[in-house]
Chains A and B, each alone.
Chain A
Amino acid sequence: MSQRFSFEQEQDFMDKLRELLHSGTDPKQIELHMPYPPHGIEELMGEKESWVRFFSLGGAVTGFLTGLGFASFTALWWPLITGGKPILSLPPYLLIGYILTILFGALATFGGFLLLARMPSVKRMTGPEQFGNEFVIEVEGETP
């Protein structure tokens, strides 16, 4: 059995949510649909911080090492002096590392988001349920 509550106003939605949680409803039973995320909603629902940040960090570090490593590897592959500069010329290679930090970081952040938010969802893409501009609370199972 599931219950659905729809609200036009953000304040009413937040009040009802507080009431449900206060009455002992498990946040795992609750599914929310919102036109925008009201301030403080994550704290209220006891959500832990998003893991997207680890994807960002991983992507950025990988990008930096790849850029620096790739530029150094290709220079050592065939050591050829150009412009009178050292074979391993750090400043330009750091620049490649910096650029790939941003590229890999952004791609990994986006990939991490898709993974964590479980998107794209074929089920929701083929037959999405519409909630309009209302704030909706769906409660699965019995409420105390």
Chain B
Amino acid sequence: MNSLDYRNQIETDVLAAMGRPGLKYLAAMGFCALLVLGLLACWGYQIFTGLGVAGITHPVGWGVYITNFVFWVGIAHSGTLISAVLYLFRQPFRSSFNRAAEAMTVVSLLVAGLFPLIHLGRVWNFYYLFPYPNQRLLWVNFKSPLIWDVFAVSTYLTVSCIFFYVGLLPDLAIVRRRATGFTQKVFNILSLGWQGTLRQWKHYNKLYLFLAAFATPLVASVHSIVSWDFAVSIVPGWHTTIFAPYFVAGAIFSGIGMVLTLMIPLRKALKLEQYITLDHFDSICKILLFTSLIIGFTYAFEFALAFYSGHKSEISQYLYRATGHYWPFYAIMVFCNGIFPLVLFKKSLRRNLKFLFVLSIFVNIGMWFERFVIIVASLAKEYQPYSWGTYTPSWVEMGITAGSFGLFFLVYLAFIKALPVLSMTELKEPHQ
């Protein structure tokens, strides 16, 4: 069916989500805003007092701030996978998720970008990261993985923003047509004069295809580069060649988990059951299951690598992860990421949304702890026994971590009311 009525119905249903917010929505916004205030208060206190208020100290100099950075960058990846990679592979189910997933990518990258700044302590020196000659005319060190990271993440954010905006363009013109007053004026500007002419469509289709092609390698490369922040060092537990694929699979896995966490309540609250069907969830869960298998395999394989290397520090590090101070977190990550998602082999569970929502929360928790275990356990037990030590996050770090979740959901909730959550133009096309 692709009649005029059907096309109008899509617009009515999708744009209904942009209507006046209800009490539940406002309460959720209020709760998230409180968490963000907590983040600002904790960060302000840290800036005023010094980095000593955080739990990071010798030997664990990277704690939950870097854990959060890796976690949020990872979350971003599934958005690009769904919007770019599945577009190139012509998977029609992507049109139910792509807009929401792309928004998730942009928001989570913005949240991730905060953490290197928070971790710096003296945030006013953030510009040291940029490539410019200092007062001695010495440039940044391009051999450092941290500089690769600055380039990779800022490029990823820029390309994701362009891709998100380009995908929105025809839909912005629809909102313009249906809006009135000030909103219409805003969308007049945002839609750049889109009128769906042949000239516009011809160049637009190529633009979207090429942007998808440019964004696709980013899915693999950005988290690979993040993984090299660790793997290029010689710290036991970090210095391994499997880190790049391991991190990429983990990023997609965690991102799909977050897509499920967001889309299941969103679908119900915005009454989009007709457009986001159980078949779509079934398909996306297969990606979750596939990446879970890769992660589960990696958990076993990295142990094997450590023992095969015969290197005492490597062997000791992996035994420490599983049996040392952080063993409960290790157990959580193995269960949540490598074991629990295997139930998705059962088709009925892939179509049970209540179950999927619970599973997605487990995935989010498991992936956060995975990054924590990788980062903290390796630093806590390096080569020299005299420099071994443990790390416990301070209340400032926990407040900032909770605030980052508040910030993510706050901006995401704002997106729901400000822009169309589904790609109306794609849904109108006959093959959908």
Which chain A residues have a beta carbon within 8 Å of chain B's beta carbons? 8-10, 31-37, 41-42, 45, 47, 49-50, 52-53, 56, 60, 70-71, 74-75, 77-78, 80, 82-83, 85, 89, 92-93, 95-96, 98-100, 102-103, 105-107, 109-110, 112-114, 116-126, 128-134
Q: How distant is the Cα of A74 from the Cα of B217 in the complex, in angstroms?
A: 27
Partner of B142, one of A9, A75, A113: A75
Chain A residues, Cβ within 8 Å of B194: 119, 124
Segment 120-166 of B: residues with Cβ below 8 Å from A: 131, 133, 136-144, 148, 151-152, 155, 158-159, 162-163, 166
Q: How distant is the Cα of A99 from the Cα of B151 in the complex, in angstroms?
A: 7
Nearest 5 pairs of A and B residues by beta carbon: A124-B193, A121-B193, A74-B139, A120-B192, A8-B4
Q: How distant is the Cα of A60 from the Cα of B142 in the complex, in angstroms?
A: 20
The main secondary structure of chain B at its interface with chain A is helix
What 1/0 mask marks residues of chain B from 149 to 193 whose CB sits below 8 Å from any chain A CB? 001100100110011001000100100110000000000110111
Pairs A–B under 8 Å by Cβ, sample size 18: A9-B4, A34-B201, A36-B196, A37-B198, A50-B203, A53-B206, A102-B215, A106-B158, A109-B207, A110-B162, A117-B199, A117-B203, A119-B193, A120-B189, A122-B193, A125-B193, A126-B188, A133-B4
Closest B residue by C-beta to A129: B195
With A42-B198, A120-B193 already in contact, the answer to whether A92 and B162 are too (CB < 8 A) is: no
Asked if B177 contacts A132 (CB within 8 A), the reply is: yes
Chain B residues, Cβ within 8 Å of A41: 198, 201
Whether B274 sits at the interface, judged by CB under 8 Å, is: no
Asked if A74 contacts B195 (CB within 8 A), the reply is: no
Asked if B195 contacts A37 (CB within 8 A), the reply is: no
Interface pick from B50-58, B258-266, B280-288, B424-432: B424-432
Asked if B140 contacts A32 (CB within 8 A), the reply is: no
Chain A nearest Cβ from B230, distance in angstroms: 16
Asked if B214 contacts A102 (CB within 8 A), the reply is: yes
Partner of B148, one of A50, A95, A125: A95
Chain A residues, Cβ within 8 Å of B200: 117, 119
With A92-B143, A113-B207, A134-B4 already in contact, the answer to whether A32 and B198 are too (CB < 8 A) is: yes
Asked if A128 contacts B188 (CB within 8 A), the reply is: yes
Closest A residue by C-beta to B207: A113
- Known A53-B206, A89-B143, A106-B159; further 8 A-B contacts with Cβ < 8 A: A31-B197, A102-B155, A103-B158, A106-B215, A119-B192, A120-B192, A124-B195, A125-B193
Asked if A131 contacts B196 (CB within 8 A), the reply is: yes
Chain A residues, Cβ within 8 Å of B45: none
What 1/0 mask marks residues of chain B from 406 to 432 whose CB sits below 8 Å from any chain A CB? 000000000000000000011011100
Q: How distant is the Cα of A116 from the Cα of B11 in the complex, in angstroms?
A: 28
Chain A nearest Cβ from B1, distance in angstroms: 11
Chain B residues, Cβ within 8 Å of A37: 198, 201-202, 205
Asked if A128 contacts B176 (CB within 8 A), the reply is: yes
Closest A residue by C-beta to B205: A37
Asked if A52 contacts B203 (CB within 8 A), the reply is: yes
Chain B nearest Cβ from A137, distance in angstroms: 10
Whether B396 sits at the interface, judged by CB under 8 Å, is: no
Asked if B202 contacts A50 (CB within 8 A), the reply is: yes
Chain B residues, Cβ within 8 Å of A121: 192-193
Asked if B214 contacts A52 (CB within 8 A), the reply is: no
Q: How distant is the Cα of A99 from the Cα of B426 in the complex, in angstroms?
A: 30
Asked if A36 contacts B429 (CB within 8 A), the reply is: yes
Chain A nearest Cβ from B75, distance in angstroms: 20
Whether B277 sits at the interface, judged by CB under 8 Å, is: no
Asked if B159 contacts A36 (CB within 8 A), the reply is: no
Q: How distant is the Cα of A78 from the Cα of B214 in the complex, in angstroms?
A: 33
Chain B nearest Cβ from A96, distance in angstroms: 6
Chain B nearest Cβ from A87, distance in angstroms: 10
Chain A nearest Cβ from B79, distance in angstroms: 15
Closest B residue by C-beta to A122: B193
Q: How distant is the Cα of A36 from the Cα of B173 in the complex, in angstroms?
A: 12
Q: How distant is the Cα of A112 from the Cα of B203 in the complex, in angstroms?
A: 9
Chain B nearest Cβ from A85, distance in angstroms: 6
Asked if A83 contacts B211 (CB within 8 A), the reply is: no
Asked if B11 contacts A133 (CB within 8 A), the reply is: yes
Chain A residues, Cβ within 8 Å of B191: 125, 128
Chain B residues, Cβ within 8 Å of A118: 199
What 1/0 mask marks residues of chain B from 215 to 230 whose CB sits below 8 Å from any chain A CB? 1011001000100000
Asked if A107 contacts B225 (CB within 8 A), the reply is: no
Chain B residues, Cβ within 8 Å of A36: 170, 196, 201, 425-426, 428-429
Chain B residues, Cβ within 8 Å of A122: 193
Asked if B202 contacts A47 (CB within 8 A), the reply is: yes
Asked if A34 contacts B152 (CB within 8 A), the reply is: no
Chain B residues, Cβ within 8 Å of A53: 206, 210
